[in-house]
A and B are shown apart, each in its own frame.
Chain A
């Protein structure tokens, strides 16, 4: 017996599953089908062509971490509430815990591992080190991916503009002042 009622993620998993949802007539609660359905995908991850067989219930986050062993992308909540799992899909930032892997056939995915070019850090990564824009580091991949995307988004010049655009990435260590400073310096360089 689980103490958690069916949550939103469960709901997505269930409704997205190709097989029909079984309804437990006694409790009236819908439960996930035990049989999994897999689909073949072809996508590009960090510049490389990747073929994957994914369970249709699997999020992009879990596929990246568990099937591709790209552990840099973090799971802080699995519910789209913290930003730790931010990656780029076709150049835009996306919460990888809120999207199913099966939806990304043919897409271009960049994770924190894909920012470095020939051993040279991305300007945002450089700036994060320079400004000590992290403490425990658990939110950091998400912060960096959001910040790297922000460089190409319309964003006003002020610190407040940056704060607004970064407000979906929580940092409990409270490294916010340094994160804003790092992003501003990376914008100056980019």
Chain B
């Protein structure tokens, strides 16, 4: 029996290629006769196209507009409302209208296209927008009764801004016309999303469209649905020109045109007893979908299901709305709605504690979900509910209570002695407790019906899945699961490219599902394969019986039930649990907030590869701190005004404090080796932890990012929470 690889940090499958420069990303590839494409986009937020004029000699160019679309002019996803190329109506700045292509990139960039518009009045305020893409209601118990039982009611409104995924490799694809259809290579998370969108757009059958993921330089959700759009554009040009076409965005275009995290406005009204017990939670959440529906419905769904935070309460009412505005469509970003709603929940929780005069740890200990409790959707939690465990471990590890009191006392003395007011910095420590459901929401996994295959090879096995490696370690972690289940060394398992011509549809690489859901299907393939092998080695089996490929499909755990109409039931197979503590310092001259220490305890079922899991937690935490403190998308007249890295600031290594990570393991019975999802959860907690630390230091913020401007103003604000007995 070879030594087990699960739980050990084996070498990444693609490690060497990435450090030697041999790994090939989309812009590193070329094809004979390749031409370059460019997207001509709207410059207005709302209106109609009147006419288009070309201020250049168009000979030698390939020009494509909506009339060149052989199938339906949509980016097929959920609502099918977004055109691949605008026909007449324009709903946002940077909406694609035309495509130009030429062999010479300089000529392409110099081409001058003039579009005249008839402008309409744009909508920018999501809370007053009359158009809703989706509304969701969750009701548990009787909210009126909950408020009657309350001694105190605490209210608050919380706001979160856009966030740009900012993968360092911009979006890009190459489309190659072949075999009467098209093959698209590209940087992407979900080859089968692209495959489906292309079939609809081009009116082609399954076998005439092939999608191949190339090495992908980060995604974070930003390459979940948007690649379907770019692939469509490149494919249209390739088919018209009958030449390979490269369409790679530059940084500015990527930031202006592609999806971002949904901004949100979330209102809480909470009933609580004097002893700290929650009696009623009433939440109203609005997320800004931008101009088209894209994934807003499902982002909202995950958002509202997580909106209470990991707390128990008998009476809950949640209302969620995703509305339309004339800004570029928002879409998937790691966390998918949960970072917004849990930001609100966790900042609100500190304000509840403050209103009651108890500390932030105590309020959470009283109300944290425990095994056997029911969530907002009525899901009964199993033994792998670890909210209290992560809370206690984090508090102990950070000496939280003592520091929290000490900083609070300092703040009080600062207020008394105005003369010391300006001296030095102010420090604070803050905490957040959060959870994250792994896999698609509700009946999503059943609908996806994902498949995975395993092919026997001479040395062991080859994995065939559509799950993509985007840096998180898919190939490595899947190979570990298969190696240990099959009983072969890790090195004897290899991983096929995510190529729709070769691998089955394992669903998208999103929603923290790649390990827990797809990994489990692979594990079942490997179990079957081991049985088929019996006492034979792979080589012996192949000699005697010929090729062996085993394919298995997702099986819903029999103890899961969900009703999409009432929003009741088991929203997720299971949840991960985590607690963050951030310590910050405010510079009293520049009002910059510097995180000086960060601790997080994550319960993730089982760390298949501890170093990869740590990497996910550290990276997600860094992005979460950026979301909290630095990253502000400035929208001016519907256009991102700071679409470059000099003024849209993401954390550098200097902005990222030492991150102390503890992983706890409380196995999920349906996960491979007990694993739950891990990719998204780390980004849910840093923002509320940092903002609660600011509260501890004397700054009352209800909105992120906590830019110097907001921090400066927030100190003067009187506490605004409504209190009545």
Chain B associates with chain A: yes
Using CB atoms and an 8 Å cutoff, list the residues of chain A in contact with chain B: 1-4, 7, 31-32, 34, 36, 57, 65, 70-79, 81-82, 84, 111-113, 115-116, 121, 125, 128-129, 132, 134-141, 144, 159, 163-164, 166-180
> Roughly how many angstroms separate A187 CA and B615 CA in the complex, as a whole number?
22
> When the two chains form their complex, are residues A81 and B644 in contact, meaning their CB atoms are under 8 A apart?
yes
* Contact between A113 and B20, CB atoms less than 8 A apart: yes
Known pairs A132-B611, A167-B653; A75 contacts B27 (CB<8 A)? yes
B490 at the interface (CB under 8 A from A): no
Whether a CB of chain A sits under 8 angstroms from the CB of B446 is: no
Let me know if A176 and B656 touch, CB within 8 A: yes
Q: Taking A1-B115, A73-B21 as contacts, is the C-beta distance between A136 and B620 under 8 angstroms?
A: no
Residue of A nearest to B652 (CB): A167
Residues of B within 8 A of A164 (CB): 654
Residues of A within 8 A of B16 (CB): 129
Tell whether, in the assembled complex, residue A116 and residue B169 are in contact, meaning their CB atoms are under 8 Å apart: no
What separation, in Å, do the CA atoms of A13 and B19 have in the docked complex? 31
In contact, A172 and B252 (Cβ under 8 angstroms): no
> Is B549 on the interface with A (CB-CB < 8 A)?
no
Considering the complex, give the chain B residue whose CB is closest to the CB of A178: B615
Which B residue's beta carbon lies closest to that of A145? B21
Minimum CB–CB distance for B127 against chain A, Å:
28
Q: Are A132 and B252 in contact (CB under 8 A)?
A: no
Chain A residues positioned under 8 Å from B653 (CB to CB) = 163, 166-167, 169, 171, 176, 179-180
| Cα-based distance from A3 to B25 in the complex (angstroms) | 26
Contacts between chains A and B (CB distance < 8 A), count: 178
Q: Does B538 contact A (CB under 8 A)?
A: no
Bound CA span A22–B611, Å: 56
Which residue in B165, B217, B470 is a CB contact (below 8 Å) of A74?
B217
Q: Is A176's CB under 8 angstroms from B25's CB?
A: no
- For the complex, give the distance between the alpha carbons of A65 and B17 in Å: 17
Q: Which 7 A-B pairs have the closest CB atoms?
A: A72-B21, A138-B217, A136-B471, A174-B619, A135-B471, A137-B18, A174-B622
A34-B110, A74-B217, A138-B218 given; A129·B645 CB < 8 A: no
> A70, A137, A138, A179: which contacts B14 (Cβ < 8 A)?
A137
Q: What A residues does B622 contact at CB under 8 A?
A: 174, 176
Give chain B interface residues in 611-628, CB to chain A under 8 Å. Answer: 611-612, 615, 618-623
Q: A121-B20, A172-B650, A174-B620 are in contact. Are A132 and B12 (CB under 8 A)?
A: yes
Taking a contact as CB atoms under 8 Å apart, the answer to whether A82 and B168 are in contact is: yes
Residues on B with beta carbons closer than 8 Å to the beta carbon of A70: 21
Judge whether B20 and A136 touch: CB under 8 Å: no
Asked whether, in the complex, the Cβ of B250 is within 8 Å of the Cβ of A78, the reply is yes
Do B645 and A141 have beta carbons less than 8 Å apart?
no
Taking a contact as CB atoms under 8 Å apart, the answer to whether B472 and A135 are in contact is yes
B106 interface residue, CB < 8 Å from A? yes
Q: Does B113 contact A (CB under 8 A)?
A: yes
- Check B168 against A125 for contact (C-beta < 8 Å): no
Minimal beta-carbon separation of A77 from chain B (angstroms):
4
Q: Which of B201-227 contact A (CB under 8 A)?
A: 215-220
B168 touches A163 (CB 8 A): no
User: Is the beta-carbon distance between B615 and A175 smaller than 8 angstroms?
Assistant: yes
A140 and B623 contacting across the interface, CB-CB below 8 Å: no
Q: Does B565 contact A (CB under 8 A)?
A: no
Can you pick out 16 interface pairs between chain A and chain B where the beta carbons lie within 8 Å of each other? A1-B113, A4-B252, A65-B27, A78-B251, A79-B645, A81-B645, A128-B19, A129-B12, A135-B472, A136-B167, A137-B19, A138-B169, A172-B165, A174-B619, A175-B615, A178-B615
Alpha-carbon distance A180/B654, docked complex (angstroms): 11
**Inter-subunit contact B168/A136 (CB<8 Å):** yes
Interface presence of B112 (CB below 8 A): yes
Q: Shortest CB–CB separation between residue A123 and chain B, in angstroms?
A: 11
> Considering the chains assembled together, what is the distance between the CA atoms of A172 and B43 in angstroms?
29
Which residues of A are found within 8 Å of B40, using beta-carbon distances? Answer: 1
Task: Give the distance to chain A from B665, nearest Cβ to Cβ, in Å.
Answer: 20
Q: Interface residues of B toward A: which range?
A: 35 or more
**Cβ contact of B22, chosen from A31, A72, A78, A159, cutoff 8 A:** A72
- With A137-B217, A167-B653 given, is the CB distance from A173 to B619 under 8 Å? yes
- Please give, as numbers and ranges, the residues of chain B lying within 8 Å of A111 by CB-CB distance: 21
Whether A112 contacts B168 in the complex (CB less than 8 A), given A3-B43, A81-B646, A164-B654, comes out as no
Residue of chain A at shortest CB distance from B43: A3
B106 adjacent to A36 (CB under 8 Å): yes
Question: Is the pair B618, A76 in contact by a Cβ cutoff of 8 Å?
Answer: no
Q: Please, how many angstroms separate the alpha-carbon atoms of A121 and B20 in the complex?
A: 8
Chain B residues near A84 (CB, 8 Å)?
A: 168
Which residue of chain A has the shortest Cβ distance to B165 in the bound complex?
A: A172
Nearest-CB residue, chain B, relative to A116: B20
CB within 8 Å of A: which B235-262 residues: 250-253, 256
Q: How far in angstroms is the closest Cβ of chain A from B135?
A: 33
Q: Which residues of A contact B166 (CB under 8 A)?
A: 172
Given contacts A1-B112, A76-B168, 11 further A-B contacts (CB under 8 A): A3-B94, A76-B169, A76-B170, A112-B19, A128-B19, A132-B12, A134-B471, A135-B615, A137-B471, A140-B19, A180-B653
Which chain A residue shows the least CB distance to B114?
A1
> Does B501 lie at the interface of the complex (its beta carbon under 8 Å from any beta carbon of A)?
no
Bound: A180/B657 CA distance, A: 12
- Contact flags B111-150 to A (C-beta < 8 A → 1, else 0): 0111100000000000000000000000000000000000
For A57, the chain B residues whose CB sits under 8 A away are 106
Q: Is A174 a contact of B168 with CB atoms below 8 Å?
A: no
Q: Which residues of chain B are near A34, meaning CB under 8 Å?
A: 106-107, 110
Check B656 against A174 for contact (C-beta < 8 Å): yes
Please give the distance in Å from B189's CB to the nearest CB on chain A: 11
CB distance from A34 to the nearest CB of B (A): 6
Is the pair A139, B615 in contact by a Cβ cutoff of 8 Å?
A: no
Which of A159, A164, A176, A178 has the largest count of B CB atoms less than 10 A from its CB?
A176
Cα(A149)–Cα(B632), bound, Å: 33
For A77, list chain B residues within 8 Å (CB): 251, 644-645
Q: Which residue of B lies closest to A182 (CB)?
A: B19
Q: How far is the CA of A60 from the CA of B415 in the complex (A)?
A: 56
Q: Is the CB of B21 within 8 A of A170?
A: no
Task: Decide: A121 near B19, CB < 8 A? Known: A76-B169, A136-B217, A180-B653.
Answer: yes
- Minimum CB–CB distance from A155 to chain B (whole Å) comes to 13
**Interface status of B109 (Cβ within 8 A of chain A):** yes
A7–B17 CA distance with the chains assembled, in angstroms: 34
Does B712 count as interface, using CB distance less than 8 angstroms? Answer: no
**B618, A129: Cβ atoms closer than 8 Å:** no
Tell whether A136 pairs with B169 under 8 Å between CB atoms, given A3-B94, A129-B15, A175-B619: yes
B149 → chain A closest CB, angstroms: 44
